[in-house]
Structure 1
């Protein structure tokens, strides 16, 4: 599959905000201020499962998820970091990285379908995006 035919699923486009373009993945922030929640989407058309990626791309996905998880933990310290690739609603391959804290809006249950999303206020969104980008840049240097 070619990266040139990649298109972000409309639901992911609507529910998330662009953070960065990584070597394999589009990194997005879930627009739900209740949770520090990233979504990595490999820029490969037609991918549904991690196993659909080539072996080297699977390794790249895990390397990028580790890098993003570290950035998220630096920006939003947490009690537990959840990773998941469910795809029951949005079939396009995407990996969730969610920083969970005891007492958050869904604790201890899953964040998926846990009430209505609370979009970030404009300033809070800009602050969160800037902090994540700075952490990712720091990690590269």
Structure 2
């Protein structure tokens, strides 16, 4: 049985926020949108149906938990949730806070212009707000 390994692109483009029961919670390094990624810590999983029924339930629970915390931490107009995986095949779920005045509202965040990296203090502030919202 192989061990869980994070896809190199996810490792490069995100920062670990915390490990939940099933998933690593990661922050996409693009300050245009508060954009989180949930990655189930399971080896060789690329589709939702590759997870056991219990893991599917945990992923749903953790997605709900993170979505609520992100909305609370940011005051977003809308929380978008998606598991696309056309480029990064490792199963991961995007949880993105959207605002009516964000750079590509109401269009998708994927492939829109070039990412804008977080400044250190802004990243730390967002992570702190998320951790407080998750603890509530």
The interval holding the TM-score normalised by the smaller chain is: over 0.9
The alpha carbon displacement at 1:103 in A equals 2.1
What is the root-mean-square deviation in Å for CA atoms of aligned residues? 1.0
Distance 1:7 1:135 in 2: 28
Q: 2:55 aligns with which of 25, 33, 57?
A: 57
- Equivalent pairs, count: 136
The equivalent residue for 2:112 is: 114
Partner of residue 93, structure 2: 95
Report runs of 4+ in structure 1 exceeding 2 Å deviation: none
Secondary structure, counterpart of 2:132 in structure 1: helix
Distance 1:131 1:41 in 2: 20
SS in 2 for 1:92: coil
Partner of 1:125: 123
For structure 1, list consecutive stretches of 5 or more residues without a partner in the other structure. Answer: none
Cα drift, residue 56 of structure 1? 0.8
- List per-residue Cα deviations over 1:12-67 (Å, max 9, x = no partner): 01111111100000000111110011100000010001111001100100000000
Return the match for 2:10 from 12, 24, 29.
Answer: 12
The match for 2:66 among 65, 68, 88 is 68
TM-score (norm 2): 0.96
- Say which SS state the counterpart of residue 83 (structure 1) adopts: strand
Unaligned runs of 5+ in 2: none
Residues in 1 aligned to 2:91 and 2:118: alpha-carbon distance in whole angstroms: 25
